[in-house]
Amino acid sequence: MPMFYYYWDPTYILVLIGVLICGAASMIVNSTMNKYRRVGNSRGITGGEAARRILDSEGLYQVKVECLRSGQGDHYDPRTNTVRLSYENFNEATVTAVGVAAHECGHAIQHAKQYVPLTVRSAIVPAANICSNLGLPIIILGVILSWNQLLIQIGLIAFSVGVVFQLVTLPVEFNASTRAVAKVDQYGLLTSEEKNGCKKVLTAAAFTYVAAALSMILQFLRLLILFGGNLMRSD
Q: 79 in helix, strand or coil?
A: coil
| Residue 104 falls in the annotated catalytic set | yes
Task: Provide the H-helix boundaries in the chain.
Answer: 5-8, 12-37, 47-57, 87-91, 95-112, 116-144, 149-186, 192-223, 229-234
Q: Which of 49, 58, 92, 104 is catalytic?
A: 104
DSSP classification of residue 224: I
**C-beta neighbour count of 160 within 10 angstroms:** 16
Please give the Cα distance from 207 to 214 (Å, whole number): 10
Please give the Cα distance from 76 to 101 (Å, whole number): 10
**Positive or negative CA dihedral for 34, 38, 39, 42?**
positive
Partners of 64 in the beta sheet? 82
Positions annotated as catalytic residues are 104
